[in-house]
Amino acid sequence: MKQIRRVKGLDDDIRKSLELNGFNYCPDVIDRTDYQLMERLNLNKAEAKDLTLTISRSIVQSIRKMSALKLRDNIQQNTYTHLCSGLPDLDQQLRGGIPCGTVTEIVGPRSCGKSTMAFNLALRVFDRETDSEDGIVFIDTQRSFDAARVVEMSKSISNNFTEDHLQRISIFNIQSVQDLIGLLNDMEEVIVSKNIKLIIVDSINALRDDSEREDKETNPSNNAAGSHLLGQQAATLKKLAEDFSIPVIVTNTMTKRMDSGYSNNKQVGTEYQVPALGLLWSHSVNTRLILQDSTFGHSEQRKIKIDKSPICGVCYIPFEITPLGLFQISNEEMVG
């Protein structure tokens, strides 16, 4: 959906009036009659008709920028069905790696290696046998992107990595949920113009936390608004993945939950960790990988748990993190 603020040719007073009255996207105008626009925006009939015409032309022009031919060519150029992770057992279980056309979530506690794994996947795009100028979108919500770290990690993956590859990583620093939704709504043009083959959001949960704090200050009872925005994010990410047959990677954190019960007539509680964002978000991702460290049990060994996948059951893959990245280590009992 195109935002009103991006529409060219609108009178400044009308644009301000639209924003003040909650008209943020073009369909907000198109879906209303001339009479409704006259009443809400204090316009005469000619002004209402002219507004509808301007918005309609803007939508048509936006659609023309990415024609059906370009969309077809972009998908046909992507001959890959999976993105290799570089972790042999993980790629084997997922039948080739991270599946294209889907949303994959990397979950874990803080500082467990989520960003490192995201960097690793980004570098794998450039390691494929192709002469095309493949690009990557990295949506950075925590200022986590570390160019020096990426260059260091590239030494273990490819000898051909250059500064040109860094220039093909488009970084967007996003601070609010609304900014992310606006960016995603305009992402189709970026994907086509820069031949994007991977989208990474690191981290999807950081934005939600900020938005909730602001919302509680202004309207403590408004929980539905946050769920609606989360649903918009999930739907748009899935659509981009499916339409362009590319993998979308999102990182997420863990949150604590408490199960209560009774023992010897006393109420007791058991604390455990679950992925943040709740069931609405959980149902929106196709594959979920949980990075586990010693906080998940008595073992000091780090493991990747395939927690959710349409093609394989739950299994565990041991890994380690070094200055050169994230690597699989010996795995005698993979399926748990």
314-331 pLDDT, tens digit per residue, is: 999 999 999 899 999 876
Residue type, 203: S
Are the C-beta atoms of 280 and 230 separated by less than 8 Å?
Answer: yes
Are the C-beta atoms of 236 and 181 separated by less than 8 Å?
Answer: yes
Question: According to the model, what pLDDT value does residue 216 have?
Answer: 46
Convert the pLDDT of each residue in 117-153 to its tens digit: 999 999 999 887 655 688 999 999 988 899 999 999 9
Are the C-beta atoms of 83 and 124 separated by less than 8 Å?
Answer: yes
Taking Cα atoms as reference points, which of 212, 223, 230, 210 lies closest to residue 282?
230
Q: How many CB atoms lie within 10 A of CB 306?
A: 23
Q: Which residue stretches of the chain are H helix?
A: 12-20, 26-30, 34-41, 45-64, 68-77, 88-93, 114-126, 147-154, 163-167, 177-185, 187-193, 204-218, 224-244, 278-282
Low-confidence residues of the chain: pLDDT under 50? 62-66, 209-211, 215-222, 298, 335
CA distance 183 to 139: 9
Question: According to the model, what pLDDT value does residue 108 have?
Answer: 92
What is the DSSP secondary structure assignment for residue 98, as one 8-state letter? E
What b/e sequence results for 26-46 when a residue is b if at least 16 CB atoms lie within 10 Å of its CB, and e otherwise?
Answer: bebbeebebeebbebbebeee
Q: How many CB atoms lie within 10 A of CB 22?
A: 8
Enumerate helices (H) and strands (E) in the chain, giving the number of each. Answer: 14, 13
Question: According to the model, what pLDDT value does residue 176 have?
Answer: 85
Residue type, 52: T
Question: According to the model, what pLDDT value does residue 217 have?
Answer: 47
Sign of the torsion angle spanned by Cα atoms 95, 101, 103, 106 = positive
Residue type, 247: P
Tokens of 122: 């980004």
Taking Cα atoms as reference points, which of 12, 26, 16 lies closest to residue 185?
26
Tokens of 65: 């920028």
* pLDDT over 90 percentage in the chain: 34
Question: According to the model, what pLDDT value does residue 260 have?
Answer: 62
From first CA to last CA, the distance across the chain in angstroms is 44
pTM > 0.85: no
Contacts of 274 (CB under 8 A, 6+ apart): 254, 255, 257
Taking Cα atoms as reference points, which of 98, 79, 122 lies closest to residue 247?
98
Q: How far is CA 92 from the centre of its chain?
A: 24
Are the C-beta atoms of 121 and 181 separated by less than 8 Å?
Answer: no
